[in-house]
């Protein structure tokens, strides 16, 4: 019985994959609904065409599509355009997704497009964690677990791990 269910699931998944819209369909749909612009951006991103990906992610982000704002920021990072990546991450945060603050923290932690500043990164991670970002809480847990530029503290690390488990956002 399990084998039959597995076979049916595989067939269903392959059928769904074959229903994937073409580039021309996505372009037509993008003119009608901004969600599809984000999908078109993802299409270009998969093809390593980051400039076109950014155009369509931006169009969708400008209509407050959180996923597209995130994808636009990631695309900017691929293009090493960190100033615009930060703008997209800030917009993501304004739309209620604190992952944006956590990702800006990553840029400060690694000195990408900004002066490397661990304290600023830590501050941004704390703000994002407070706002419910699972990723930021996990980052803080790891920082305090290994003592990265702070004194290692297993109790603080454990507290952030618990917050990460309860966090409801990216």
- The model's confidence at residue 16, banded by pLDDT at 50, 70 and 90, is very low
- Give the SS3 label for residue 165: helix
Instruction: Give the per-residue pLDDT at 25.
Output: 73
- Residue by residue, DSSP assigns 89-148 as HHHHHHTT-THHHHHHHHHHHHTSSS---HHHHHHHHHHHHHTTBHHHHHHHHHHHHHTS
Say how many domains are in the chain.
2
Average pLDDT (10-18) is: 53
Q: Model confidence over 109-164: pLDDT tens digits?
A: 999 999 999 999 999 999 999 999 999 999 999 999 999 999 999 999 999 999 99
Q: Give me the domain span that covers residue 123.
A: 99-170
Q: 139 and 90 in one domain?
A: no
pTM of the predicted model over 0.85: no
Average pLDDT (4-25) is: 61
Q: 105 and 69 in one domain?
A: no
* Domain-located, residue 69: yes
- CATH number, domain of 149, equals 1.25.40.10
Q: 109 and 76 in one domain?
A: no
Q: 120 and 88 in one domain?
A: no
Q: 147 and 107 in one domain?
A: yes
- The model's confidence at residue 98, banded by pLDDT at 50, 70 and 90, is very high
* Domain-located, residue 130: yes
Q: Model confidence over 17-42: pLDDT tens digits?
A: 445 677 667 766 677 776 788 889 99
Q: 160 and 125 in one domain?
A: yes
C-alpha 133/C-alpha 154 separation (Å) is: 20
Q: 120 and 72 in one domain?
A: no
Q: Model confidence over 50-83: pLDDT tens digits?
A: 999 999 999 999 999 999 999 999 999 999 999 9
* Domain-located, residue 4: no
Instruction: Give the per-residue pLDDT at 36.
Output: 84
Q: 114 and 66 in one domain?
A: no
66-78 helix and 50-61 helix, angle to the nearest 10 degrees: 150
Q: 89 and 142 in one domain?
A: no
> Residue 13: pLDDT above 60?
no
Q: 77 and 116 in one domain?
A: no
């Amino acid at each position: 019985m399990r084998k039959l269910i597995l076979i049916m699931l595989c067939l269903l998944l392959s059928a769904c994959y074959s229903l994937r819209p073409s580039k021309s369909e996505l372009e037509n749909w993008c003119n009608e609904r901004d969600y599809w612009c984000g999908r078109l951006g993802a299409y270009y991103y998969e093809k390593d065409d980051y400039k076109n990906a950014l155009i369509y992610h931006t169009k969708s982000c400008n209509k407050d599509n959180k996923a597209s704002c995130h994808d636009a920021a990631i695309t900017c990072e691929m293009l090493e355009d960190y100033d615009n990546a930060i703008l997209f991450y800030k917009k993501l945060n304004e739309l209620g997704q604190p992952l944006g603050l956590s990702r800006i923290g990553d840029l400060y932690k690694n000195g990408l497009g900004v002066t490397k500043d661990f304290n600023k990164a830590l501050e941004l991670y704390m703000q994002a964690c407070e706002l419910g970002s699972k990723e930021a809480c996990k980052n803080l847990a790891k920082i305090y677990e290994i003592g990265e530029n702070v004194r290692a503290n297993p109790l603080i690390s454990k507290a952030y791990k618990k917050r990460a488990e309860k966090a409801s956002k990216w």
